[in-house]
Amino acid sequence: MTTRTLQRVIPSVATSDGAGVKLRRSLGASQLARHDPFLMLDEFYSDDPDDYLAGFPSHPHRGFETVTYMLDGHMQHHDSGGNTGDLGPGDVQWMTAARGIIHSEMPQQSEGRMRGFQLWLNLPAKEKMKPAAYSDVPAGAIPVATLDHGVKVKVIAGTLEHGGRKTAGPIQGISTDPRYFDVHLDARAVFEGAVPAGHNAFLYAYEGEAVVGEDRKALAHRAAGLLSDGDTVRIEAGEKGARVLLLSGKPIREPVVQYGPFVMNTREEIEQAVNDYRSGAFAKEPVRRIKVAQPGPA
Ligand code: CO
């Protein structure tokens, strides 16, 4: 058994996207700041509606998946397939843009506050042009594993293995085999969980402080901490507890050519995406809505 160590830190930078939504970007802040298959992680949080109400008006995506996880406030969603949705606190939208979707994502406050994450997860070449689909995952369909000694884990995607038990999240069966866990630790609590050897993994502490691995390296607040290979992850919270996203996935190991919201393998495919979007040939088909299964034992 090998416990992963903290190998590289990608600090988050303050930026804005869409029509001026203020956010912090760690992964994806530059082309060198990716962790295959993960392309980008944005955290948005504010008590000031001026920071986010302009939202992300109509925009396209092709070639990857976007995962939106709300902690506070709402995100209203409309897409080119005529679907509408309203993500509330704790809800997740797992959208496979694949060959194309045009949508708008408009944040709404609840009691002035809005907080959440958007992750971009790459698709392998053979899946980049499959039909678009998405799952709206209500908070109630996301199981919470209560571990020993003050640790709770919300299992959004993949299966959590801990102490001989398994907790399966609602999102399964994706070829990059992603695990997306939101780990809540009380003061000084320790989380130890399995992550398959060979998968790329990273952490993002959005509340409190933590140390990682047997050598107890400090995980900076609001930075992506990329982990070495291994089959176990160990996180220990500081005096005030911590909340940490733990993400892992199977690397795709293909060239990545990105132009804004298009992520393909070659420049020619990017040009095709831009031409399709400009000519109106983009996202003409219905967007499949996938029913999310209720949680149960793996
Ligand atoms: Co979008």
**Omega cis (within 30) before 295:** no
298 Cα–ligand 1 center, Å: 31
pLDDT confidence of residue 289: 85
81 Cα–ligand 1 center, Å: 14
244 Cα–ligand 1 center, Å: 24
**Cα torsion 91, 19, 63, 183: sign:** negative
Residue found by looking up tokens 């939101």 in the block: 182
Q: What's the CA gap between 279 and 275, in Å, rounded?
A: 6
- Tokens representing 290 are 């996938």
- Tokens representing 139 are 């908070």
0.85 exceeded by pTM: yes
pLDDT confidence of residue 297: 46
Distances in Å between the Cα of 296 and the Cα atoms of 177, 192, 286 are 18, 21, 30
* 49 Rama class: left (phi>0) / alpha (psi -120 to 50) / beta: alpha
Residue found by looking up tokens 């109630």 in the block: 140
List per-block mean pLDDT (blocks of 10 residues) for the chain, which spans 298 residues. 95 90 92 94 88 88 97 92 91 95 87 89 98 93 94 98 91 97 98 96 96 96 96 96 98 97 98 95 84 57
Q: Which domains does the chain have, with CATH numbers?
A: 12-140+260-286 (2.60.120.10), 142-249 (2.60.120.10)
What is 141-189 written as a DSSP string? GS-EEEETTTEEEEEEESEEEETTEEEE-SB---TT--EEEEEEE-TT-
pLDDT confidence of residue 285: 82
201 Cα–ligand 1 center, Å: 24
pLDDT confidence of residue 293: 61
pLDDT confidence of residue 155: 98
67 Cα–ligand 1 center, Å: 9
